[in-house]
Structure 1
Amino acid sequence: MSCDAVAFSAMLWLASTASAAPVDQAPAIVQPGQAPPSVAGEPLFAEIVKRAGALKTRVEGYREALPKDPAAAAAPLPGFAAFKAEIEALSALDMKGHVTLKQRGAVDDLKCILRGISQDLPEKLTAMADAKTVKTQDQALRDMVYLLNDNVEVITAPPQPAA
């Protein structure tokens, strides 16, 4: 057995035999500060949620319409040029959301997440366009669904205090 396997086994054994912390004990890490106000109701962020949700539904439709043979050549996606323009517009809105929060002096993760999504959307779009087989196309579409879903959830989730 390798050293890594022995160390992992020891860690599992120690974790399973350790006593649990008392129920009335305070958590070891307390996050200071207050949660920032929610931005979900603001027009810019509501528009991001609306567009991301609609695009997610569209991508799910693309996935459902794919041929069943994963080895088949990738199928052309109907209305892809318009879809591409909408993804690019959403990416720009996400960056605008990032800049807006940064200008406000926001210290929570939302501003960074919006920037990341803004940068990831074009990459996922390229993967969709470059897919050669149904299998790779389905994976690219699945990745786009997850990203668009994250775009909705990060804005609509209750804000958390800065870490």
Structure 2
Amino acid sequence: MSCGLAVAAVLLMSDPSVAAVQPVPPPQTLAEEPMYADIVSRSRALRDVVDSWIARGMAADAQFAQSEEFSGFQIAAAELSERDMAGHLDLRQRGTDGDLRCILRGLSEDLTVRVEALAAAETPTQRGDALSELRYLLNDNVEVVVAPPGPSTGEPPH
């Protein structure tokens, strides 16, 4: 049997529906993976809340840290911090991108510090500065995840 006849026979016996199913390409960036997309979404949402507070002049409100709105934000920020740490641990386990791995850990730790600084701020200037720093941190949390992947560091997970 010639090669052409063998190929024709295999094609005739194959299931045509298999050929119709397109393979799902792997994610091109971390931001396309569900855990990291969630980090980006939560970071953007919290950044938008902080932007709203800045625009509304909430730094002037001496009772701001006692508000229900701020209490809800603290909970959401703690959840984001946990997800950043989970991202750090995931990347460490994969042994990929040492820089992003370290950045996510730093963001996780710094987010808690920045929210606590906002809660402890006693003057409008301190609250304004804390809001500004928190806004930049949340923006960084988005940007580092959506950035194109860097070259693999080749270092083992630790």
TM bucket (normalised to shorter chain) is 0.7 to 0.9
Q: Secondary structure at the match of 2:36?
A: helix
How far did 1:64 drift?
A: 1.4
1:88 matched residue in structure 2: 78
2:64 matched residue in structure 1: 76
How far did 1:66 drift?
A: 1.7
1:92-114 CA deviation, whole Å, 9 max, x = no partner? 00000000010011143111100
TM-score (norm 2): 0.73
Larger proportion of helix? 2
1:127 matched residue in structure 2: 117
1:99-158 CA deviation, whole Å, 9 max, x = no partner? 001001114311110000000000000110011111110100000000000000000011
Q: How does 1:48-87 map to 2 (within 5 A)?
A: 48-66=39-57, 74-76=62-64, 78=67, 79-87=69-77
8 A contact 1:108–1:160 mirrored in 2: no
CA distance in 1, matches of 2:72, 2:134: 16
Letter in 2 for 1:114: L
1:38 aligns with 2:29: yes
- Give ranges in structure 2 of 5+ residues lacking alignment: 1-27, 154-158
TM-score (norm 1): 0.71
Q: Larger RCO: Structure 1 or Structure 2 (Cα < 8 Å, ≥ 6 residues apart)?
A: 1
Quick one: percent identity of the two aligned structures?
A: 43
Q: Which moved more, 1:93-102 or 1:74-83?
A: 74-83
1:4 matched residue in structure 2: none
CA distance in 2, matches of 1:101, 1:118: 14
Letter in 1 for 2:64: P
